[in-house]
Structure 1
Amino acid sequence: MEQWQKDLIEVVEVVADEVERFFLGMNDMVDAFFELTEEITEQIESSIATEVDLYLQDIAEPILDIYWELEDIVADVDSGFPYSVEPTAEQNPACIGCRNYHGNVYSGNLLVCGIHPHGWDDANCPDWEQED
């Protein structure tokens, strides 16, 4: 083999080594670029999530305050649905233990019993009957 052929082979080998080293370096650069973009993406997502969370808190807090206030107001208002009231010593004492006692409130009006819808005035109702 002649010298010029040996020189050409050597030049080709050097070029091949340099090209290989270049692409290995590029591979490292690409890996570093991907790591950097992942870190930036995570930071941006975290920042966006924090901003959205703060924004929603700024919006949600006043709305929830209004909701809780409305809930308190609605709880104080008679809903129109019947509910029971037990007779006590202060309210309808003649009805304690009476089988005729109804004791449901309808739209804010207590129906004490069918015989005396508004209850009896004292503790001795003439229509009192023992509960079963």
Structure 2
Amino acid sequence: MEKWQKEFWDMIETVADEVESFFLEMTEMVDSFFELTEEITEQVQNTITTELEQYLQELADPIMGVYWELEDVIIDDVDLGFPYSVEPCSEKNPACIGCRHYHGQVYSGNLLVCGMHPYGWEDENCPDWEQEEL
């Protein structure tokens, strides 16, 4: 082989090696760039999530406090106008526990205990008490 041919093939091999080296370095740079962007994205996402949760918590606490206060006011002070049931217990209307005449509905804030004793019996021995039918 002549000298110029050998030099030509050496030059082609050198160019091929340099191109391969260039692309390997570019691949490493692209990989590094993607790793960096993934880390930055994760940090930004974590930061935004944390700050958003904190902001929503700070916003929600006063609102929930007002809500619970209003719920207490509504339940305690406002009559919704709908009848609802009240079960007899040992503290209130103990004579009515298990009685078939017990009505136990609240109308406009007034409890109707039964037809014979609308406000209930004062002690535990009601003269009109009858076993509730099952």
Root-mean-square deviation (Å): 3.0
TM-score where L is the length of structure 1: 0.75
Deviation string, structure 1 residues 33-58 (Cα, Å, up to 9, x no partner): 00000000001101111111111011
Code of the residue aligned with 1:110 in structure 2: it is L
| 8 Å CA contact retained: 2:104, 2:114 | yes
C-alpha separation between the residues in 2 aligned to 1:46 and 1:63?
A: 26
After superposing on structure 2, the runs of 4+ consecutive aligned residues of structure 1 that deviate more than 6 Å are none
Cα distance in 1 between the residues matched to 2:100 and 2:10: 116
d(CA) in 2 for partners of 1:42 and 1:32?
15
Q: Which whole-Å CA distance do the structure 2 matches of 1:20 and 1:119 have between them?
A: 98
Matched residue count: 126
Structure 1 portions without partners, runs of 5+: none
1:10-25 alignment, distance < 5 Å: 10-25=10-25
Q: Which runs of 5+ in 2 are unaligned?
A: none
TM alignment of 1:1-132, pairs within 5 A: 1-77=1-77, 78-79=79-80, 80-84=82-86, 86=88, 100-118=101-119, 128-132=127-131
Q: Look up the SS of the partner of 2:11 in the other structure.
A: helix
Q: Using the TM superposition, give the Cα deviation of residue 61 of structure 1 relative to its aligned residue in structure 2, in angstroms.
A: 0.7
Q: CA deviation at 1:3?
A: 1.2
1:54-96: CA deviations, max 9, x gaps? 110111111111111122222324443322253879x779x65
TM-score (norm 2): 0.74
Quick check: 1:81–1:107 contact (8 Å CA) kept in 2? Answer: yes
Q: Report the AA paired with residue 106 of structure 2.
A: V
3-state DSSP class of the match of 1:114?
A: coil
1:30 deviation in Å?
0.6
